[in-house]
Amino acid sequence: MAYNFRDHYFQRAKKENYLARAIYKLEEIQKKHRVLRSGDRVLDLGAAPGSWMQLTSGVVGPSGLVVGVDLKKIEHVFPRHVVVLQRDIFDPEFEEDMVREYAPFDVVLSDMAPSTCGIKAADSARSELLFERAIQLAEQLLKPQGHFLAKIFQGSDFHNLLAETKKRFEWVKVVKPEASKKQSKEIYVLAMRFKKP
Ligand SMILES: C[S@@+](CC[C@H](N)C(=O)[O-])C[C@H]1O[C@@H](n2cnc3c(N)ncnc32)[C@H](O)[C@@H]1O
């Protein structure tokens, strides 16, 4: 059953020329909540192989900007309003470089996932660190009223992180898209309308 489920989204992505099945998670969230709009400047953290950038670059169009960042090299060739960077988001100079070259953003996305070891508590702790860093970056790089969407594997720190997110945004919702495996601890936190201090 789990195999068929994976296979369905995988095959669909292949047929529709998308780089990963992950696109259907963002597509569902976008349809329901209109996180992205034409002309937006978007930062996509953990962007490889690039399916979220395929969707995002289409929605924002050439008057917008998409900056995709990943540890891995992104091979796909995108339109000119997409910038692809091979970087570690924990690099101490990363935030400064974003401020200098691309900020402020209307939307910060993070589909970042750690390389998992199979021990659930360790995997969720690593995912929570990525989420925490993503929200720190969003705080520095978002425009007032900007939006944040980030993946997290729910672990022991999840409720603290959710509470911290709620302090910073006017509206926050935990989302589990259809394309996300039911048995996985992966969920997305959608936070809209950043309350810039
Ligand atoms: C599930 S994939 C993202 C899929 C992507 N949204 C897409 O649609 O193609 C998660 C990515 O997070 C990246 N990642 C994990 N830790 C990172 C870090 N510290 N800095 C940048 N990227 C990171 C991984 O390299 C991996 O490519």
Which tens digit of pLDDT belongs to each residue from 30-81?
999 999 999 999 999 999 999 999 999 999 999 999 999 999 999 999 999 9
**Best residue for ligand 1 mutational test, from 112, 128, 130, 180 (most atoms within 8 Å of Cβ):** 112
* pLDDT averaged over every residue in the chain: 94
Residue to mutate, 70, 97, 181, ligand 1, most ligand atoms under 8 Å from C-beta: 70
From atom 18 of ligand 1, which residue's Cα is the shortest distance away? 88
Sorted by where each begins, the domain ranges of the chain are 22-194
pLDDT at 117: 82
Ligand 1 pocket residue status of 48, Cβ below 6 Å: yes
Q: Is 151 a catalytic residue?
A: yes
Whole-angstrom distance, CA of residue 196 vs CA of residue 108: 14
**Residues 120, 125: Cα–Cα separation, whole Å:** 8
Banded model confidence at residue 108, pLDDT cuts 50, 70, 90: very high
| Catalytic, out of 31, 32, 151, 196 | 151
Does residue 157 surpass a pLDDT of 90? yes
How many whole angstroms separate alpha carbon 195 and alpha carbon 197?
Answer: 6
Percent of the chain scored above 90 by pLDDT? Answer: 81
More confident residue, 9 or 2: 9
pTM of the shown model: 0.95
Contact 158, 152 (CB under 8 A): yes
pLDDT of 196 strictly over 90:
no
> How far from chain centre, in Å, is Cα 159?
19
Domain 22-194: top CATH class: alpha beta
Q: How far apart are CA 19 and CA 9, in angstroms?
A: 12
Q: How far apart are CA 37 and CA 122, in angstroms?
A: 36
In the block, which residue shows the tokens 């996932």?
113
Predicted pLDDT of residue 6: 57
Instruction: Say whether pLDDT at 2 is over 60.
Output: no
Q: What is the dihedral of CA 195, 103, 43, 167, to 10 degrees?
A: -20
Give residue 38's pLDDT: 98
Ligand 1 lined by 44 (C-beta under 6 Å): no
Q: What is the share, in percent, of the chain residues with pLDDT greater than 70?
A: 96
Q: Is the beta carbon of 51 within 6 A of some atom in ligand 1? A: yes
Residue 79, CA distances (Å) to 56, 60, 61, 158 in order: 11, 12, 9, 36
Task: Judge if the beta carbon of residue 106 lies within 6 A of ligand 1.
Answer: no
Name the nearest CA neighbour of 179 among 30, 17, 37, 43. Answer: 30
Give, using CA atoms, the residue closest to atom 24 of ligand 1: 46
**Nearest atom (ligand 1) to Cα of 88:** 20
For ligand 1, what atom is nearest to the CA of residue 49? 9
Residue 179 has pLDDT above 90, yes or no: no
> For the residues 110-138, what does the mean pLDDT come to?
93
Give the pLDDT confidence score for residue 1 in this predicted structure. Answer: 41
